[in-house]
Structure 1
Amino acid sequence: MEAIRLLLAYAAHCGFKLFQMDVKCAFLNGIIDRERFMWLNHLVYVDDIIFGSTNEDLCADFAKLMTNEFDMSMMGELNFFLDLQIKQTAEGIFIHQEKYAKELVKNFGPECAKPMGTPMHPNIKLDKDEHGRDVDETRHRGIIGSLMYLTSSRPDIIQSVGVCSRFQSKPKESHLSAVKRIIRYVLGTIDYGLWFPKTDSFQLVGFCDADFVGDRIDRRSTSGMCCFLGKSLIVWSSKKQATVALSTAEAEYIAASSCYIQFVNSEGQLADIFTKPLIEEMFCKLRTELGFLISSLFS
Structure 2
Amino acid sequence: MEDDELIEFSSPESKVQRRGPIRTCTPLISNKSDPARAPEKTYDNTQIQGFKKLTEVYELLLSEGEPGNFKEAVGKKEWDKAMNEEIASIEKNKTWTLVDLPNGHRPIGLKWVFKIKKDAKGKITRHKARLVAKGYIQQHGVDYDEVFAPVARLETVRLVLALSAHKGWLVHHLDVKTAFLHGELSEEAFVKQPEGFEKKGQEEKVYKLTKALYGLKQAPRAWNTKLDGVLKGYGFKRCQLEQAVYTKRTSHDITIIVIYVDDLLVTGSSQQQISQFKRQMEQTFEMSDLGLLTYYLGLEVSQGNSGIKITQQSYAKKILRMTGLEDCNSTKIPMEPGLKLGKNDEEEEVDATDYRRTVGCLRYLTHTRPDLMYAVGYVSRYMQSPKATHHQAAKHILRYIKGTTDLGIHYLREGKGKLVGFSDSSYSVDMDDGKGTTGVVFYFNERPVTWLSQKQSTVALSSCEAEYMAATAAACQAIWLKGLIADITDEKEKPVVIKIDNKSAIALVKNPVFHGRS
What TM-score, normalized to structure 1?
Answer: 0.89
1:12 to 2:227 alignment? no
Name the CA distance, whole Å, in 2 between partners of 1:226 and 1:158.
10
Deviation of 1:295 (Å):
4.5
Name the CA distance, whole Å, in 1 between partners of 2:292 and 2:317.
24
Distance 1:61 1:263, change over 3 A: same
Choose which of 37, 43, 51 in structure 1 pairs with 2:213.
Answer: 43
Match of 1:263 in 2: 478
Secondary structure of the corresponding residue to residue 273 of structure 1: helix
Deviation of 1:169 (Å):
1.1
Runs of 5+ unmatched residues, structure 2: 1-153, 191-208, 215-222, 224-260, 512-518
Deviation of 1:161 (Å):
0.4
Choose which of 147, 150, 158 in structure 1 pairs with 2:362.
Answer: 147
Whether the 8 Å contact between 1:206 and 1:228 is mirrored in structure 2 is yes
1:85 to 2:300 alignment? yes
Distance 1:233 1:141, change over 3 A: same
Secondary structure of the corresponding residue to residue 289 of structure 2: strand
Q: Supply the AA of the counterpart residue of 1:7.
A: V
Name the CA distance, whole Å, in 2 between partners of 1:111 and 1:77.
31
What TM-score, normalized to structure 2?
Answer: 0.53
Q: Supply the AA of the counterpart residue of 2:167.
A: C
Deviation of 1:82 (Å):
0.3
The percent identity for this pair of structures is 35
Deviation per CA, 1:258-294: give whole Å up to 9, x if none. 111122333554354121x43x2x2xx227988x995
Whether the 8 Å contact between 1:220 and 1:243 is mirrored in structure 2 is yes
Match of 1:115 in 2: 330
Name the CA distance, whole Å, in 1 between partners of 2:392 and 2:430.
19
Choose which of 212, 222, 229 in structure 1 pairs with 2:444.
Answer: 229
Match of 1:157 in 2: 372
Name the CA distance, whole Å, in 2 between partners of 1:90 and 1:293.
44
Structure 1 residue runs of 4+, over 6 Å off?
287-290
Match of 2:283 in 1: 68
Q: Supply the AA of the counterpart residue of 1:12.
A: A
Secondary structure of the corresponding residue to residue 49 of structure 1: strand
Task: State the superposition RMSD in angstroms.
Answer: 2.4
Choose which of 460, 463, 467 in structure 2 pairs with 1:248.
Answer: 463
Match of 1:3 in 2: 156
Secondary structure of the corresponding residue to residue 140 of structure 1: helix
Name the CA distance, whole Å, in 2 between partners of 1:126 and 1:154.
23
Deviation per CA, 1:146-172: give whole Å up to 9, x if none. 000000000000000000001111111
Distance 1:134 1:288, change over 3 A: closer
Q: Bigger relative contact order, structure 1 or 2, given CA contacts below 8 A and separation 6+?
A: 1
Whether the 8 Å contact between 2:464 and 2:505 is mirrored in structure 1 is no
Whether the 8 Å contact between 2:417 and 2:445 is mirrored in structure 1 is yes
Whether the 8 Å contact between 1:109 and 1:180 is mirrored in structure 2 is no
State the structure with more CA Rg. 2
Choose which of 91, 96, 109 in structure 1 pairs with 2:311.
Answer: 96
Whether the 8 Å contact between 2:317 and 2:326 is mirrored in structure 1 is no
Deviation of 1:194 (Å):
0.7
Choose which of 380, 385, 391 in structure 2 pairs with 1:170.
Answer: 385
Whether the 8 Å contact between 2:326 and 2:402 is mirrored in structure 1 is no
Q: Which structure is higher in helix share?
A: 1
Deviation of 1:28 (Å):
3.6
Deviation of 1:128 (Å):
1.9
Deviation of 1:251 (Å):
0.8
Name the CA distance, whole Å, in 2 between partners of 1:180 and 1:109.
11
Distance 1:111 1:227, change over 3 A: closer
Name the CA distance, whole Å, in 2 between partners of 1:10 and 1:132.
48
Match of 1:286 in 2: 496
Q: Supply the AA of the counterpart residue of 1:286.
A: V
1:219 to 2:434 alignment? yes
Q: Supply the AA of the counterpart residue of 1:5.
A: R
